[in-house]
Structures are given as C-alpha cells and as structure tokens.
Amino acid sequence: MTWLDADTDIIFSGALCALACSIPGTLLVLRKMSMMGDAISHTVLPGLAAAFLITQTRAPIPMFIGAAVIGIVTALLVQWVRDLSRTDGGTAMGIVFTALFAVGLVLLRLPAIEHIDLDPSCVLYGAVETSAIDPINVLGVEMPRAALINGVMFAVNLGVLLLLFKEFRISAFDPALATTVGINATLMHYILMTMTAVTAVAAFETVGSILVIAMLIVPPAAAYLLTDRFGVMFVLAGVIGVLSAAGGHVAAIVIPEWLGVGDTVTSGMMAVAAGALFTLAWLVSPRHGVISHLLSRWRLGLRIMREDILGILYREQEQADHPTPSLTTAVEAIVRLRKLRPVIARLALSRLRRRGMVTGTLPQLALTDRGRTEAARLVRSHRLWETYFSHQFPTLPSDHLHAPAEVLEHLTDDALRDRLGQRTNDPSVDPHGRAIPGAASGASIDGS
C-alpha cells in the first residue's frame, strides 16, 4: 500500500467531519432521539434544493440557512403529526422524513437544478475521496475545502456546546427539571435540531446524507457504552469518530486488495469502521458490555454455588443426631449440583477449600469453623425469609415458602438480615420448626 498526501487529506477531512457530527450526535443519543438525526439528515435535501432555487447559488450561507430552516420544520412536523394523528414518535418521523426526502429527490431533477453540480449520488453517498483535489488557501495554508467546512462546523458546534453546557446537560436528562429551573427546554430542543441540520449539510460532501447518520449516532452510541459521565462522553465520541474516519479510509484501501475486488467507497468504509468500533465497545464495555455481563453472571453463579454447598453441609451437620443417613443425603445433593453445572461446582468447591471454609473431598466434606459461620448466615437468611412470608401471607401453604426464600437468601446482606429479624421479632424457629441460627434465644451465628 502506497501512502499519498491525498490519503492524509481524506482522513483529515473525514476526522473533522466525525468531530463535527459527534457533538449533536451525542446530545441526540442522550435524549433518545437518534432517529431524529436520521430524519433530519434526509430532510435537509429539500432545504438545499429550495435554497438553490431561491438564490441560484451554491454558496455555503444560503445552503446552511436552507438546511437550518428545514431542520426546524422537520422537528415541528414530527411533533404535529405525533400530536394530531396520535401516532408514536417513530411512526411520525418515518412519515415526515420519507415524504420530505422524496420531495428533495424530485426537486433535484428539476431543470433549474439538474444542470448544476448537485447530483444525487454526491448528496447521498458523499465524495470524501475528491477532497484532496479541491483545495482552498486559508491564511497562506492550503487545505481541502471539505476540511475547512467541517472544521468550521466543529468549531461552531463546540462553541455552542461550551456556551450552553449546563443547559444541554439538564435538558438532555430531564426537560421538566430544566423548565423548572428556568431553562427553556423547547428552545434547547430546536437549537439541537438546527445544529444537527447544519452539521448534516456540512457533512454532505464528506459522507453524504445517507451515511451521515452513522457519524452522528454510532460513535456517540459507542461512547455511551463506555462512560456514564456527560463531558467524557463527548470526548470519547470524538475520539471514536476520528478512529472511524482513519480506520475506514485505510480499510477502503487495503480490503479491496485483499479480496481482489474493485475500489470501494471511503465514506461507506468509515461507517463500517464505526460499526466495528461500536461492536468492540459493546463487547468490552466495563459496565454494559457483553463480556462484563457474562463475567458477572459467571461470578454470581459461582457465588450461589458456593453458598448452596455451604447450606447443604450446614443442614447435614445440623441433622447429625438424627437416625437418617444425612451425610449421604448431603453428598448426593452436592454430586447432583456437580452434574448440573460441573465446571462451576468444581470451582466453587476449590474456592471454598482455598478460603478455609471446607475441608476434605467428596464424600468426606466438612465445614470448618469459618465455613460454619458463613453457612449460618445463609441459613439464617433463608429461614427468616420463610418466617417473614408466613407472617405476610398466612394463607400461603408452608411448602410454598422454600422456593422464594432460596432465591432471596443469596441477595440478603447483613443490614437486610437484621431488618428481617426485627420485622419477624427474631424468632428462634422457622415455620417448619427448624432452629434459626443467631436467634435471640438460640445459638449465635459464630457457633459460640
């Protein structure tokens, strides 16, 4: 792969486009209005066409004004359709943006517009590859015109965000609270719609109206998975957008060579790269990722298995004086657990031995003093829950008390256990007549 100055210009233009899109896109994601970004990115097309018909020029200012006006009109129409037709927000957006987008495509085919360089393919898919051959001189420095437009757009969006940071933060999460503290939530909404519309126009030549939604939504959505802090999310969204632009262009150069196919569209590969980064964030997010959820479920299953084994051994020792062969019953119960979830059961037994709570191996397992103390807390929680349910639901059959108590015993901490004891008057036995460890008239939890 031969790297040219044009490749650097393409990535520079795409990165600035991603940065400009990341600011309104983050606010749209936080306000749960991602599809509004999609709607506006499509409906600015008739705004562009109308601006040219009125002014007969492609100058940036008339185009931006046309986009801003149509962006506000789109938001108003969506609100009106939703209120007047009693449809949901998604349906209203679908009706408005498809209708306006179709109007824009029709306008582009008018004789007054068709002869100018405003072809549908450029508007729909962008032409970031041509940014290197369309330079502009700024203060003696030559740069791609697309980079200048997107850079200015990024600076404007950043300025608006910093100026209205507090207002955006409050209105994004609680518009009612924003209104209560004197912030015009409706005005903030339409400021965001205007930012989105104008940014979509600035991004047309880079990624086009179809793919601008990827740059508006996907990097902020990935950032949303990685952080819960308002300010940090903007930074992460910008970084992910820049990486998408760089990775997308490199992929557009390299992947066709690997596959032996023709050239691909750089803007499309930028969207693919953004999707790949979102997938990575979805997998590795520390709080919301797939891997973290799987690990959490694994750790929870391991803890529950350890506690189940402790409870089984405690009840076996508790019944040691009975004539029934309770040890065999305990061993069979643990063996059954190992058959149901063999890996977790083996790990749980190993962890209990390392922590000094269990000694021996099957079929000669026994609780240590430390293990008995921990098991007593678990059994106390179980029997207090059974007692609590029997008090709250006196008509509930006693054989229905065990199942919910077996679940809740694993979710009960010391504070909740103490509250249960208070609510049930700290009984010495449960509804089945079994002693409750740690009861005021019984043995203490530590066995003393």
Q: For position 445, which CATH number holds?
A: 1.10.10.10
Q: Are residues 37 and 172 in the same domain?
A: yes
* 272 inside domain: no
Q: Are residues 448 and 347 in the same domain?
A: no
Domain of 122, CATH number, reads: 1.10.3470.10
Of the residues 179, 214, 249, the one at which a domain ends = 214
* 232 inside domain: no
* 384 inside domain: yes
The pLDDT assigned to 442 comes to 40
* 260 inside domain: no
Question: What parts of the chain have a pLDDT lower than 50?
Answer: 321-328, 441-444, 446-448
Q: Are residues 199 and 185 in the same domain?
A: yes
Q: Are residues 305 and 440 in the same domain?
A: no
Q: Which residues pair with 429 in a beta bridge?
A: 435
DSSP characters for 157-173? HHHHHHHTHHHHHHHHH
The pLDDT assigned to 119 comes to 56
Q: What are the strands, taking DSSP E only, across 35-171?
A: 135-138, 141-144
Q: Are residues 74 and 185 in the same domain?
A: yes
Residue 151 CB contacts under 8 Å (≥ 6 apart), including other chains: 16, 20
Q: Are residues 328 and 380 in the same domain?
A: no
DSSP characters for 133-190? GSEEEETTEEEEHHHHHHHHHHHHHHHHHHHTHHHHHHHHH-HHHHHHTT--HHHHHH
Of the residues 333, 362, 391, the one at which a domain ends = 362
Q: What is the count of structural domains for the chain?
A: 3
Of the residues 310, 343, 362, the one at which a domain ends = 362
Q: Are residues 354 and 403 in the same domain?
A: no
* 437 inside domain: yes
Q: Are residues 443 and 334 in the same domain?
A: no
The pLDDT assigned to 183 comes to 87
Picking from 232, 42, 67, the residue whose alpha carbon sits closest to that of residue 124 is 42
Q: Which residues pair with 367 in a beta bridge?
A: 358
The pLDDT assigned to 203 comes to 80
* 139 inside domain: yes
Q: Which residues pair with 349 in a beta bridge?
A: none
SS3 117: coil
Q: Are residues 318 and 176 in the same domain?
A: no
The pLDDT assigned to 71 comes to 78
Q: Which residues pair with 435 in a beta bridge?
A: 429
DSSP characters for 269-337? HHHHHHHHHHHHHHHH-TTTSHHHHHHHHHHHHHHHHHHHHHHHHHHHHHTTTSSS-HHHHHHHHHHHH
Buried b (16+ CB within 10 A) or exposed e, 272-297: bbbbbbbeebbeebeeebeeeeeeee
The pLDDT assigned to 84 comes to 82
Q: Are residues 342 and 194 in the same domain?
A: no
Q: Are residues 349 and 393 in the same domain?
A: no
* 294 inside domain: no
Q: 373: domain range?
A: 368-448
Q: Are residues 189 and 42 in the same domain?
A: yes
